[in-house]
Amino acid sequence: MSPVPAHPAPAGTEIDVLRVFCAGDGRFGNALGVVRDGSTHPDEAARQALAKELGFSETVFVDDPERGVVDIYTPGTRLPFAGHPLVGAAWLLDLEVVCPPAGEVWVRDDGEFTWIEARAEWAPPRTLRRCATAAEVEALTVPEPGEWIYAWAWEDEAAGRIRARGFPGRGDGVDEDEATGAAALLLTAELGRALNITQGRGSQLLTAPGPDGIVELGGRVRLERTLTV
């Protein structure tokens, strides 16, 4: 559990902490901070400072809950698109569309999984590094900061089952990303098939290629807690 920063925001700011891409039993998933009232942090500097202090893989600021306008930050940079923040925000706010800077993202919910439709080219660059076996992926150690590495291997190629781990390489305190929607989109586009990905300690991401370069990305979301700071 990430520590609560001493002075991250104006008094009374609420931050919902979600777990996105949980396993079937509700465990694991990637931590996400959601600031429902983005006006508490009206400029990029204030948002970046809060994201850094919270230390989550990403933090989302909601600028218009009716239209689904959101702004996404890692501890060190602003992102035009990211998978798990959009899945999480869509689930939390019960949205049919969510709008990061990259473009309009449509959402559906099947009762267990929240799905978004996005284009793989919206994803930030990732180095997709194939390993020979799932055991090789398991045995990897965190590399030195540098490129963003998504290491993966087939667990069951016929069934589309993948074992993966993600290493952001940014040197911002997030040495390993528990569940990376953007990388899953890129891998799905490269392989051209639906995937069932187990990443990190046991998070689950589902993908399916669609028409015109669209990829569906789905996962379970759980509300872990709400902070008032």
- Measured CA to CA, the distance from residue 166 to residue 116 in angstroms comes to 20
CATH tag, 127-218? 3.10.310.10
164 close to 137: Cβ distance less than 8 angstroms: yes
All CATH 3.10.310.10 domain ranges in the chain, comma separated: 14-100+221-228, 127-218
For the stretch 83-102, pLDDT in tens is 999 999 999 999 999 999 99
Q: What is the pLDDT of residue 10?
A: 57
* Amino acid found at 185: L
9 pLDDT higher than 60: no
Beta-carbon count within 10 A of 66 CB: 7
Q: What is the pLDDT of residue 178?
A: 98
Residues 174-185: what's their mean pLDDT? 97
For the stretch 114-157, pLDDT in tens is 999 999 999 999 999 999 999 999 999 999 999 999 999 999 99
- Measured CA to CA, the distance from residue 162 to residue 68 in angstroms comes to 31
Residue predicted with more confidence, 116 or 228: 116
Q: What is the pLDDT of residue 3?
A: 44
DSSP 193-217: S-EEEEETTTEEEEEEE-GGGEEEE
For the stretch 201-224, pLDDT in tens is 999 999 999 999 899 999 999 999
For the stretch 28-56, pLDDT in tens is 999 999 999 999 999 999 999 999 999 99
> Per CATH, is 14-100+221-228 categorized as 3.10.310.10?
yes
